[in-house]
Amino acid sequence: MSDSSAKFSQALATLRTFSDTGTPRTYEYRIEALTKLDKLISENVDRICDALAADLSKPLQESLLAEVAVVLDEVRLTKKNLRKWIKPDSVSTPLSLWPSKSRIYQDPLGVVLIIGPWNYPFHLLMLPLVGAIAAGNCAMLKPSELTVHTSKLVTELISKYFPPEYVFVAEGGIPETTDLLNLKFDHIFFTGSTAVGKVVMAAAAKNLTPVTLELGGKSPVIVNDDADLDLAARRIVWGKFYNAGQTCVAPDYLYVHKNIAAQLQTKIKQTIEDQFGVNTKDSKSFARIVNSRNFQRLTKLVDKNKVVHGGQSDERSLFIEPTLIGNAQWNDEVMRDEIFGPILPILTFESLQEIYKTINSKPKPLAAYFFSRSKARQEEFLQTLHFGGGCINDLVVHLGNPHLPFGGVGESGTGSYHGKSSFLIFSHAKSVMIRSGWFDFSLRYAPYKEKNIKLLRKYLRI
């Protein structure tokens, strides 16, 4: 047994012992833990943003909004609603089972494992933790090893604000995650790539551990010829180049109607300059690529002959310019896998029905976006295309509404969270019928008599 394996196994045993005491499931403990999580964040906003800047050169505004505020909002919404959410639901009972009360209790799962990625390394670890705490669980967190500063800070802060028998951080890369996946948790919540999602699901299957998989994919943005092109350009540039394109719900590629393709391309180029200046490298609003491996992967995707904007890069500073690839085709290298960087291939179309067929023939994307002024076209997009979630006339912002469950479908994920959905995903719906003995149908018991069967058939009409 490796050192980390023994350490994680011991940590899990400690978590399980505490979970079994029943303390973390009490309403008071959950509320106190959420208050502590609020403090952990509010008292350390600058340190969190500094760690993200050190890991990804993440612009301060992006850290404040998409890493800090989003988690604080979730904590506060959860605290406000928790009493209501944990109240058992009373449901009706068929007449044949009267007198009874039927209730659904939301039961904690026990000890859950949360594995995070590097692109929003604070948000994507803490947001699931809010749900795990709200549902009355103990948790083990595994931050991404690629964002070292955030991983270290999360470890320090969690151990300062929470006891290790309640929340424990297991740092490490693939070998350590493999050790963790060999242990038996009550749920695994994984955010990361589709390829690693398969590894996680296979490992979980050995223990029949349920999983939530928040994965990626190639998410399209489609712009029809009746769209507001200025709005589309502004929002596409924002959604694509936020965090330098390293966002799971960023548009991976642009499908634009051929009648307006040239016009939209010109507007997108202009908008890139408006938002990041002529020299993006000097912009304080543009993040960097997480590491050299991803830098190499991304620069190899750029076909220099097809670049219509950008294309510059600098490995030393892990900078890749916002880059547009014109006349992209499905057999181009850049269209094979999720890009996950500041490169936007542009494909054109003549018929929406044709492209819906094409997109539906590929792995289901995590998100899809559609720009059009026509209500009928919008409805057709919603009714025809399969995807996890998305927006009409905008991008990415569906994530910001905690009342919308967030997750993928098929290859882009299993299960969804945010707000009440987070609470539910970390709970088991325990269905219970509460009965009394004052009335007891004798015909349910053996020996089964002919006359009772007749009565039964009459009652059931069969």
Q: Give the residue numbers marked as catalytic.
A: 214, 248
Q: Among 344, 380, 15, which Cα is nearest to 169's? A: 15
Which of 191-199, 300-308, 370-378, 443-451 is the region at the interface with ligand NAD (rule: CB under 6 A)?
191-199
CB closest to ligand NAD, residue no = 216
Q: Which of 58, 71, 118, 241 is close enough to bind ligand NAD by CB under 6 A?
A: 118
Q: For ligand NAD, what does the binding mask look like between residues 330 and 349, x meaning CB under 6 A?
A: --------x-x---------
Q: For ligand NAD, what does the binding mask look like between residues 343 and 382, x meaning CB under 6 A?
A: -----------------------x----------------
Comparing CB distances to ligand NAD, the nearer of 177 and 372 is 177
Q: Which of 78, 106, 177, 372 is close enough to bind ligand NAD by CB under 6 A?
A: 177
Q: Which residues pair with 89 in a beta bridge?
A: 104
Stretch (H or E) spanning 78: helix 70-86
Q: For ligand NAD, what does the binding mask look like between residues 138 and 157, x meaning CB under 6 A?
A: ----x-xx------------
What's the rounded Cα separation, in Å, for the pair 281 and 268? 18
Contacts of 36 (CB under 8 A, 6+ apart): 161, 162
CB count within 10 Å of CB 92 equals: 7
Which of 94-102, 109-117, 152-160, 341-349 is the region at the interface with ligand NAD (rule: CB under 6 A)?
109-117
Comparing CB distances to ligand NAD, the nearer of 136 and 413 is 413
Q: Among 197, 243, 236, which Cα is nearest to 220's? A: 236
Comparing CB distances to ligand NAD, the nearer of 44 and 150 is 150
Which of 51-59, 171-179, 220-228, 344-352 is the region at the interface with ligand NAD (rule: CB under 6 A)?
171-179
Report the amino acid identity of residue 100. S
Applying the rule CB under 6 A, the residues between 209 and 228 that interact with ligand NAD are 214-216
Q: Among 349, 344, 343, 391, which Cα is nearest to 370's? A: 391
Report the amino acid identity of residue 195. A
Task: Rule CB under 6 A: say whether 124 interacts with ligand NAD.
Answer: yes
Contacts of 13 (CB under 8 A, 6+ apart): none
User: In angstroms, what is the minimal distance from the CB of 397 to ligand NAD?
Assistant: 15
What's the rounded Cα separation, in Å, for the pair 109 and 122? 23
Q: Which of 192, 310, 363, 365 is close enough to bind ligand NAD by CB under 6 A?
A: 192
Task: Rule CB under 6 A: say whether 408 interacts with ligand NAD.
Answer: yes
Task: Rule CB under 6 A: say whether 117 interacts with ligand NAD.
Answer: yes
- Encoding tokens for residue 231? 């709005």
What's the rounded Cα separation, in Å, for the pair 106 and 109? 9
Task: Rule CB under 6 A: say whether 55 interacts with ligand NAD.
Answer: no
Name the region of 2 (left: φ>0; alpha: ψ -120 to 50; beta: rest): beta
Comparing CB distances to ligand NAD, the nearer of 210 and 326 is 210
Which of 24-32, 114-122, 379-387, 448-456 is the region at the interface with ligand NAD (rule: CB under 6 A)?
114-122
Task: Rule CB under 6 A: say whether 175 interacts with ligand NAD.
Answer: no
First to last CA, the chain: 61
Comparing CB distances to ligand NAD, the nearer of 37 and 215 is 215
Secondary structure in 3-state letters for 157-197 = HHHHHCCCCCEEECCCCHHHHHHHHCCCCCEEEEECCHHHH
How are beta strands 100-108 and 427-435 bridged, if at all?
A: antiparallel
- Site residues, ligand NAD (CB under 6 A): 115-119, 124, 142, 144-145, 173-174, 177-178, 191-193, 196, 199, 214-216, 248, 338, 340, 366, 408, 413
